[in-house]
Amino acid sequence: MDLGRRLAGLWNAAAKEAGGPDRLTEILSRLALFFSGGWILALTFFDWIRSAFFVDLGLTVAILVAFALGIVNVGTAVQTWIPARRLAPLVPLSIVYFTVVHYWLFVSLVPFYGTDGLAFSHYSAILLLQGQNPYAVSQAPALELFRIPEFYVTPKETGGLVTSQTYPALSFLIYVPVVAAGATDMRIVSLAGHGLAILVAYRVTPQPFKAFAPLTLAFPDQLDFTPGSVQDILWVAPLLLSVSTLHRRRFSGCLYGIACSIKQMPWLLAPFLFVDLWKRDGTKFPSSAGLWNFAAFAAGTFLLINGPFILWDPGPWTAGVLDPLFGDNIPLGPGLSILTQGAWLLAPKAFYSATMVSVIIALLALEFIDYPNARRALYWFPGVVMFFAYRNLQNYFVYWYPFVFLALATWLREQYQGSGHAEVP
Amino acid sequence: MRKSRSLVVLAVLLVPIVALASFSWYIVSRPAEVRISVRLPIVDLDGVGAGTELQLDVQNLGQNPVELSFWVMWFAFVRDWEILEGAPVLDPGATQTYRIRVSNIQMAIPDGSRYIVKAFDRISGIYFRSEDLRLELEGSPPLRNSGLWYWSRNTQTGVLHPFAWGLDWAAGADDAVDIGPADASSGARLWLREGGGGTGPTLAVVHQAINASDLLRLRDTPVTLCWTFAIEYRDDPETGYPLTASGVQLFRGGKLAWFVLSRSTSGIVDLPNHRIFVVRADTDRGGCAPLPLGPMIDFIGGAPLEDSSFALFAVAWPKAPGEYHFAATTFVLG
């Protein structure tokens, strides 16, 4: 008996022991309320310590309400008047609220961008409003304009810094209306994206684990990244919607195209998603209309957004968006390349590239050969691949959590519903 | 059937593992091709209390030429250092001495930190490392970066400040403060607007913590303050407390000593826990004046191990509304 079957057996036994799926939802909702409450209390405590709440009445009230929500969530886990599953929406709402409070405090303490990426995207929006091509103009002035500290730039191994736009076009197009409206801090867009992603994660994750889904976007690093100017949270909501609507291939493809137009990270999912759709459709060759509808609408949406810049000047656009893959940026992050960062391992970048490619091929083969089991791990494959990359920044990993959790929740739901009943993400 | 599928899965996963392991073994078992030694001692050439320049002896032990850039790593984020002396290309078997300098002052090695020097060979794409070292800087002056050079942004606050110095300020709702370099890259310019409201002063401070042993050294070091214009010291005739002032402040253990400039008077003013050393000078023009550091340090006293704060300051109280400028160009040590 393989591990998957054993887990399924355990799960069914647990559901039966608990008194059925509804009863299990009730139990897990209570657990989610308890853990979210404790989590919010802990994080609010740390924010209270580092805040100057005593000079800001608004912040004082905000912290007070966050702490009260933590108290309420823990309390609702053990109250018996109202079924916990009815109170479960408190989890996403309180997590969204705390995300806003944490953002507010962080931004007041760090009133500048913490990444060159957001500085470049903001500057690109300004350039575009002035009629200039952001891919063809140096982004170097953005570093001074947005007061980016020296630690947070991207050095190149060949000398100098990255001073070009290296993300797909929606990474800055999304800021154009915000800049045009007169806003000066684009981190607010990430905050909106973070709130939306939490609500979407809650919406698309099936019972009985639904109430836990918001917690997958409330780890301390994720909470700091939004006001800390990491933009990846922006692709989470469209990609979550995409993978949860794979039964509507055109719609899902459009959403995938949107996610891929924000940053390159969702691109990594493409080969695995391709095999997944092929296998779902059950054709001998990848020839189903659904598969190609998805691919066509994803590519079409991507080209709709990026096409104008490709036509404007294809060279700089191509060099820009491929820079994270083929540029000569220094190794960084706590993945395998930490061995090269300390120069313990005399390995060139080509070693990491070759390893990454072989891991992608192996995972694809694994998915192809043992699809029924491997498909559950599909959304963590990008994380596994990035572990072997030359750069393994934390944001390459943490935004896959809601997807992995969605796959886990869907898998376990299928176990007691019977295979094929639930929508597989 | 299931067993054979498991074997296939295992085989598939083994392919990258074996490839990774064999390649790793190959590159680990290779002898290091570039040997890097850091020459000691390291002297604080810039007087900033951090390692800004290193001398390296580099030997190419490999069979091929290397083209080197140098990276000094004392924390996770790293930048390349500028090569001041030494050709980047090093032939096989050759040894060369390099002098390298930090490309941005924020990346200078803090005294006492552990660090390594990495050489990146642009030809092979490989990093080589020196042995790991701890920076024991020699020749640091008691007052770091006395010329107020190297203005750069604080990584935590984003505020522009001279390296090794911090900024502080206090301003009410109708007041304003601005602190920046006196000229393009050095000195400090402190600007205040005291609106006349409230009770507290409008204050701008550029400060540096000085440990007890450095304070003792500072006591024996002649220090001269040079300025281009300053704020006239004025006091309240009724209370004797200051209304406006600029100059140098020493603070330790709740006691404050000021060195201030006045066109009309000189002498010592004693207030509770506060002594003001007033020196006659033209505040509308540039000038220099030696600091009475001995008497100032004697006044603040304090516990032997307690840090003190050495600062440039400008201040105005609500009873003296207006705009004020203080521009100090440098402290001259010795």
List domains and CATH numbers for chain B. Answer: 34-138 (2.60.40.650), 151-333 (2.60.120)
Report whether pLDDT(A424) > 60.
no
Tell me which chain A residues have a C-beta less than 8 angstroms from the C-beta of B30: 346
Q: Which of B70, B106, B90, B208 is nearest to B148 (CA)?
A: B208
What average pLDDT does chain B have? 90
Cβ <8 Å between B126 and A150: no
Cβ <8 Å between A155 and B8: no
- Confidence (pLDDT) at B152: 85
Q: How many percent of chain A have pLDDT more than 90? A: 83
In this prediction, residue B92 has a pLDDT band, given cuts at 50, 70 and 90, of very high
Structure tokens at A312: 């404007």
What is the C-alpha separation between B215 and B303, in angstroms, rounded? 12
Tell me which chain A residues have a C-beta less than 8 angstroms from the C-beta of B4: none
Report whether pLDDT(A425) > 60.
no
What is the C-alpha separation between A261 and A304, in angstroms, rounded? 10
The shortest C-alpha distance from A355 to chain B (Å) reads 7
Cβ <8 Å between B129 and A370: no
Tell me if residue B99 falls in helix, strand or coil: strand
Burial class (CB in 10 A: 0-12, 13-18, 19+), A226: buried
Which of residues A1 and B88 earns the better pLDDT score? B88
Q: What is the pLDDT of residues A213-228, one digit of tens each?
A: 999 999 999 999 999 9
At how many degrees (to 10) do helices A187-204 and A90-109 cross?
160
Q: How many percent of chain B have pLDDT more than 70? A: 93
- Confidence (pLDDT) at A9: 76
- B239: contact with A, CB 8 A cutoff: no
Cβ <8 Å between A345 and B27: yes
Burial class (CB in 10 A: 0-12, 13-18, 19+), A160: middle
Tell me which chain A residues have a C-beta less than 8 angstroms from the C-beta of B125: 157, 348-350
| Pairs of CB atoms within 8 A across A/B | 110
Strand-strand pairing, B274-280 and B255-262: parallel
DSSP code for A147: T
What is the C-alpha separation between A149 and A144, in angstroms, rounded? 9
Least confident of A65-69, B185-189, B191-195: B185-189
What is the C-alpha separation between A415 and A8, in angstroms, rounded? 6
- B2: contact with A, CB 8 A cutoff: yes
Among B1, B9, B12, B73, most A C-beta atoms within 10 A, so best to mutate, is B12
What is the C-alpha separation between B138 and B33, in angstroms, rounded? 31
- Confidence (pLDDT) at B305: 66
- Confidence (pLDDT) at B3: 60
Tell me which chain B residues have a C-beta less than 8 angstroms from the C-beta of A370: 5, 8-9
Which of residues B14 and A70 earns the better pLDDT score? A70
What integer is the mean pLDDT of A93-105? 98
Report whether pLDDT(A418) > 80.
no
Q: Does the reported pTM lie above 0.95?
A: no
Cβ-Cβ contacts under 8 Å for A348 (sequence gap 6 or more):
B124, B125, B126
Place of tokens 């709740």: B254
What integer is the mean pLDDT of A65-89? 96
The shortest C-alpha distance from B15 to chain A (Å) reads 7
The shortest C-alpha distance from A398 to chain B (Å) reads 19
What average pLDDT does chain A have? 93
The shortest C-alpha distance from B231 to chain A (Å) reads 30
Cβ <8 Å between B20 and A355: yes
Q: Which of B177, B199, B202, B173 is nearest to B189 (CA)?
A: B177
- Confidence (pLDDT) at B71: 97
Q: Which of A113, A97, A119, A103 is nearest to A191 (CA)?
A: A103
Cβ-Cβ contacts under 8 Å for A37 (sequence gap 6 or more):
A69, A70, A71, A72, A73, A74, A75, A76, A77, A94
- Confidence (pLDDT) at B323: 97
What integer is the mean pLDDT of B53-64? 95
What is the C-alpha separation between B324 and B192, in angstroms, rounded? 5
What integer is the mean pLDDT of A38-59? 95
DSSP code for A332: B
What integer is the mean pLDDT of B194-214? 93
Q: What is the pLDDT of residues A317-339, one digit of tens each?
A: 999 999 998 889 999 999 999 99
Report whether pLDDT(A423) > 50.
no
Q: A158 — phi, psi (to 5°)?
A: -85, 5
List the single residue in B13, B20, B69 with the smallest CB-CB distance to A366.
Answer: B13
Cβ-Cβ contacts under 8 Å for B4 (sequence gap 6 or more):
none
Cβ <8 Å between B15 and A362: yes
Cβ <8 Å between A346 and B126: yes
Q: B237 — phi, psi (to 5°)?
A: -60, -30
What integer is the mean pLDDT of B152-168? 84
Tell me which chain B residues have a C-beta less than 8 angstroms from the C-beta of A388: 20
For the CA atoms of B202, B206, B212, B218, what is the dihedral angle to 10 degrees?
Answer: -110
What is the C-alpha separation between A278 and A281, in angstroms, rounded? 5
Report whether pLDDT(B50) > 70.
yes
- Confidence (pLDDT) at A420: 39
Cβ-Cβ contacts under 8 Å for A314 (sequence gap 6 or more):
none
What is the C-alpha separation between B51 and A182, in angstroms, rounded? 43
What integer is the mean pLDDT of B98-121? 95
List the single residue in A155, A158, A332 with the smallest CB-CB distance to B122.
Answer: A158
What is the C-alpha separation between A136 and A315, in angstroms, rounded? 9
- Confidence (pLDDT) at A29: 96
* Omega within 30 of 0 (cis) for the link into B41: yes
List the single residue in A2, A340, A362 with the smallest CB-CB distance to B127.
Answer: A340
Amino acid at the residue A301: T
The shortest C-alpha distance from B101 to chain A (Å) reads 14
Cβ <8 Å between A345 and B78: no
Structure tokens at B325: 């400028």
Cβ <8 Å between B19 and A354: yes
What is the C-alpha separation between A398 and A232, in angstroms, rounded? 10
Cβ <8 Å between B19 and A355: yes
Which of residues A424 and A284 earns the better pLDDT score? A284
Tell me which chain B residues have a C-beta less than 8 angstroms from the C-beta of A3: none
Structure tokens at B289: 């004046």
- B116: contact with A, CB 8 A cutoff: yes
List the single residue in B16, B24, B73 with the smallest CB-CB distance to A359.
Answer: B16
Structure tokens at B170: 């206090």
Cβ <8 Å between A354 and B23: yes
Residues of A with CB under 8 A from a CB of B: 2, 110-112, 147-152, 155, 157-159, 330, 332, 340-351, 354-355, 358-359, 361-362, 365-366, 369-370, 388
Burial class (CB in 10 A: 0-12, 13-18, 19+), A406: buried
In this prediction, residue A257 has a pLDDT band, given cuts at 50, 70 and 90, of very high
- B80: contact with A, CB 8 A cutoff: yes
User: String of b and e for A345-382 (b: at least 16 CB within 10 Å)?
Assistant: bbbbbebbebbbebbbebbbbbbeebeebbbbbbbbbb
- B77: contact with A, CB 8 A cutoff: yes
Report whether pLDDT(B160) > 90.
no
Cβ <8 Å between B79 and A150: yes
What integer is the mean pLDDT of A127-136? 98
- Confidence (pLDDT) at B333: 80
Tell me which chain A residues have a C-beta less than 8 angstroms from the C-beta of B71: 330
Report whether pLDDT(A62) > 60.
yes
Cβ <8 Å between A150 and B107: yes
What is the C-alpha separation between B58 and B43, in angstroms, rounded? 20
